[in-house]
Structure 1
Amino acid sequence: MDLGKSVFLISFGQRLKELRKDRKLSLRQLSIRCNIDYSDISKIEKGKRNIQISTILELAKGLEIHPKELFDFNLEDLSCR
């Protein structure tokens, strides 16, 4: 995995974790809300899992947010080369 992709996945995961904690949800609670295994959510939050667009939609539904809110993080450190 190239550095830019890795940084993006980690940044996305950190944003997901931030949104989950803001809503005072455990991994298991979010898992139940969006029908995604809690261990997969943990891997996403750590930047270890690349996900599909449909997973983004399910996470957004579970958090009760618009999917675009999951992408509200700084991209300055990413190299798009």
Structure 2
Amino acid sequence: MKNQVHIDFLVAFGKHLKKVRKQHNISRVQLAYEIGTHEKQLRLIEKGEINTGILSIHKIATVLDLEPKALLDFRYPDTT
């Protein structure tokens, strides 16, 4: 079971991922296809409803032409 701190972190990560994805002008459907997962899985990650693995972060970063650390460079707790 996740505690509130974990949930808040997942939500903050998801918001950041969504922002970065949009900055790179790639749809959730296209990104999901490129990393070999379903759009629903990516949507749940962006909503902070599920945790993702380090390999998924690597795949996403590769498609977006970023270093994986760029996906983890977000403000937590999210004060916006």
Structures share fold, TM-score greater than 0.5: yes
The residue type equivalent to 1:7 in the other structure is: D
Q: Which runs of 4+ in 1 moved over 3 A?
A: none
Please tell me the residue identity of whatever aligns with 2:27: S
Which residue is 2:68 aligned to? 67
Give the number of equivalent residue pairs. Answer: 77
Amino acid of the structure 1 residue aligned with 2:21? R
Quote the RMSD (CA, aligned, Å).
1.2
Which residue pairs with 2:21 in the alignment? 20
Deviations 1:11-62 (A, max 9, x none): 1000110011001111111112211211100000000111111111111112
Identity of aligned residues (%): 34
What is the TM-score normalised by the length of structure 2?
Answer: 0.88
Number of the residue aligned with 1:6: 7
Structure 1: give runs of 5+ residues left out of the alignment: none
Could you say which residue in structure 2 is the equivalent of 1:46?
47
Contact 2:9 2:77 in 1 (8 A): no
Moved more, 39-48 or 23-32: 23-32
1:12 maps to amino acid = F
